[in-house]
Amino acid sequence: MTPENRSDYWKANIRLVTILLIIWFIASYGLAILLVEPLNQFYLGGYPLGFWFAQQGSIYVFLVLIFAYAFGMNRLDKKFDVEE
Amino acid sequence: MSNLSNLDIWTYSVVGFTFATYIGIAIWARAGTTGEFYVAGKGVHPVLNGMATGADWMSAASFISMAGLIAFNGYGGSVFLMGWTGGYVLLALLLAPYLRKFGKFTVPEFIGDRYYSQTARIVAVICLILASITYVIGQMKGIGVAFSRFLEVSYDMGLYIGMAIVAVYAVLGGMKGITYTQIAQYVVLIMAYTIPAIFISLNLTGNPFPQLGLGSEYAPDGVASGVSMLAKLDQVVTELGFKEYTTQTMGSTLNMFAYTLSLMIGTAGLPHVIIRFFTVPTVKSARFSAGWALVFIAILYTTAPAVGAMARLNFIDTLMIEKTETTEQGLAAFEPLPGDDLPGWFQNWSQTGLLVWKDLNDDGLVQYYNDKNDATIAEADALGYKGSEIFHGTGDALKPGPDLDIMVLANPEIAGLPNWVIALIVAGGLAAALSTAAGLLLAISSAISHDLLKSVFMKDISEKAELNAGRLSMIGAIIVAGYLGLNPPGFAAGTVAIAFGLAASSIFPALMLGIFYKRMNNVGAVAGMIAGITVTLLYVFQHKGIFFIPGTEFLAPQLGMGADWFFGISPNAFGAVGAVVNFAVAFLVSAVTAPPPEHIQHLVEDVRVPRGAGDATGH
């Protein structure tokens, strides 16, 4: 593979990781810690919403992120022809 | 123990049966995989590998301790939930696939090669040992609690018995086929955790899913109450003078932030978890196996908040019975339990010294409330109460409140569940503690025998001597951790949190920079690791004693260094600060020293591309 190709692959990888980590940050540090008080004004069933993100929601988001990464990277591997 | 009760028989049977299963599997798997010691994970389906990783990961801290901390810290306990799951995102996105591509066996090996330096490798080994031993102390605390209750002995005696069993187990199970044993341990621990939770959720809310039950209406024994489970809990705890459950924090917002960050980064920097991703067959499967591991971990972690909240409510409900049809508010709305009516589980735990009633006002009634809250103290005075009467500890050294590490184990008994469920939870706690302790001890022994002796100090050591050195270092680690476990620096999960802080401040930055920053050189990485772990250790030792030995704390309030003096950040959360220091020092030092040689830059280029990942090799 050419150096340009290699660097494009790496840039695409970094872009994907950056987007996913921004979501990771918002779901945990943002909604569950920094914004927990305003969000607790709303309810999800019997859960105050900020509390729900802290003890349930963030974990579900983490799961989705890891699988999104795995599928996203597999697609990049194919596109740039760097699969094993 | 001359008269075995029905519960005793159940407990011995279930614990005995599970142990026999683990040993049987270990023997069976060993026979089938001779010569495949290092690649045990290779032929294992990613889903099964995820289960094994889950058992490896979920320790006494997750199983025994965490829900108890959530129960008494409410929303503040969320730092453990998010920290110990969110770290998998970092691990999956930033480390796992690249370390797999690199294809070596130990974390210090990667650091030594990437930073072309034996010094870097030795520093990594020392950081790894410090973090892992601290982690084992936390396991020992959990094992001590489980055995003290199971065998009805004191906590110290439970700890000694636990040390002996871990020593035998680690030598036996630490050899081969550990993956299959861990799959069995996962099944045991997840059943032990979820079955009682389902029962209790049904009892209190009528919803069989604890994740939903916690957000449902409080309906004890099917009688609707019109308020939600969490609102009910908030009401009860505040009437007894405690902080409101759903808004109670652990320190400031900054401390919550740092605590979560420290646990997340530490998760991605702990060697015994990282090793799991070295042995999967491909880079692609390394990406997926992190996801599967988190699926299995999330089953416990999303159940834990319900376990904590419901245990808290049931615990209070047993001791302080809410009066029906009363107009009274606060403490007066509760009827203390007569001491003669203390349930059997309470008396059993009293023998361990982890839950003690002391009748301060000699009225024969058990009062339990927050005696640090001024408004509640005024109410208590009016009722003739002389302080909350629930303690843990022995003799004169009583500490207020129950030992939080008993909550998960006591929970099914408090809720009055059948004996087989109670027996199951003891087996689950032991499975969690043993699987993690074995994994950690393996990481410690391989660091000493493989990374230190074989590669640095005694290059011509024979394979047999290397193995013996590994075994000896395991025993040494157990003794050190057991000794320190007699006076643990905190509850199991709190102690483990310190271990994560140490890993966060040393290993994670070196690994991440090694992959994502080609310019990072040997001097920068070494300086960063040393600076990061040093500031973290200093802060922890300052609060908890030098190597956690009681009486050696060196806080200096006269110099403005009171507890949590650094912006209110607690020592358990300080790994986040240590990690920042590590990154900063590494950048600064590498900027003023020579860049890494050409071939190292090629190595980094190579690690970033999946194609060409061979089998993992040891050298």
Gap between the Cα atoms of B369 and B389, Å rounded:
8
pLDDT in tens, B8-27: 888 889 988 998 888 787 77
- pLDDT at site B33: 41
pLDDT in tens, B215-233: 999 999 888 888 999 999 9
**Across the interface, do B86 and A6 touch by the CB < 8 Å criterion?**
no
pLDDT > 90 fraction of chain B, expressed in percent and rounded: 50
Q: What is the DSSP letter of B332?
A: G
- pLDDT at site B177: 56
Q: Nearest by CB to A65, from B89, B214, B612: name it.
A: B89
CB < 8 Å to A55, chain B: 70, 75, 78, 81, 214, 305
Q: Are B502 and B575 in contact (CB under 8 A)?
A: yes
pLDDT band at B34 (very low <50, low <70, confident <90, very high): very low
- pLDDT at site B352: 85
- pLDDT at site A16: 97
Q: Nearest by CB to B86, from A6, A44, A58: name it.
A: A58
Delineate the domains of chain B, giving CATH numbers in brackets. Answer: 6-315+417-498 (1.20.1730.10), 321-402 (no CATH)
- The size of the A-B interface in CB pairs under 8 A is 134
Q: Nearest by CB to A17, from B93, B253, B256: name it.
A: B93
Tell me whether 0.95 is exceeded by the ipTM.
yes
Structure token pair of residue B473:
């270092």
Sequential DSSP letters for B150-208? HTT--HHHHHHHHHHHHHHHHHHHTSS-HHHHHHHHHHHHHHHHHHHHHHHHHHHHS-S
**Across the interface, do B88 and A13 touch by the CB < 8 Å criterion?**
no
B44 φ, ψ (degrees, to nearest 5): -90, 135
Gap between the Cα atoms of B576 and B570, Å rounded:
11
Nearest CA in chain B to A29: B257
- pLDDT at site A18: 97
Mean pLDDT calculated for residue range B574-582: 97
B377: contact with A, CB 8 A cutoff: no
- pLDDT at site B2: 46
Least confident among B69-73, B156-160, B525-529: B156-160
A45: contact with B, CB 8 A cutoff: yes
Of the candidates B509, B501, B500, B499, which has an alpha carbon nearest to the alpha carbon of residue B94? Answer: B509
Out of B71-80, B127-136, B560-569, the most confident range is B71-80
pLDDT in tens, B430-466: 888 888 887 788 888 888 887 888 777 777 777 777 7
A9 φ, ψ (degrees, to nearest 5): -60, -45
**Across the interface, do B291 and A66 touch by the CB < 8 Å criterion?**
yes
B336 φ, ψ (degrees, to nearest 5): -65, 150
Gap between the Cα atoms of B518 and B212, Å rounded:
47
- pLDDT at site B32: 45
- Listed by number, the residues of chain B in 224-263 with a beta carbon closer than 8 Å to a beta carbon of chain A are 228-231, 246-247, 253, 256-257, 260-261
Nearest CA in chain A to B249: A33
- pLDDT at site B520: 95
- pLDDT at site B615: 53
pLDDT band at A1 (very low <50, low <70, confident <90, very high): low
Q: Are B338 and B364 in contact (CB under 8 A)?
A: yes
Model's pTM, two decimal places? 0.92
Mean pLDDT calculated for residue range B500-515: 96
Nearest CA in chain A to B211: A56
pLDDT band at B619 (very low <50, low <70, confident <90, very high): very low
- pLDDT at site B289: 87
State yes or no: pLDDT of B31 exceeds 50.
Answer: no
How close A19 gets to chain B, by Cα (Å)?
11
Mean pLDDT calculated for residue range B198-212: 95
CB < 8 Å to B610, chain A: 77, 82-84
Mean pLDDT calculated for residue range B467-479: 83
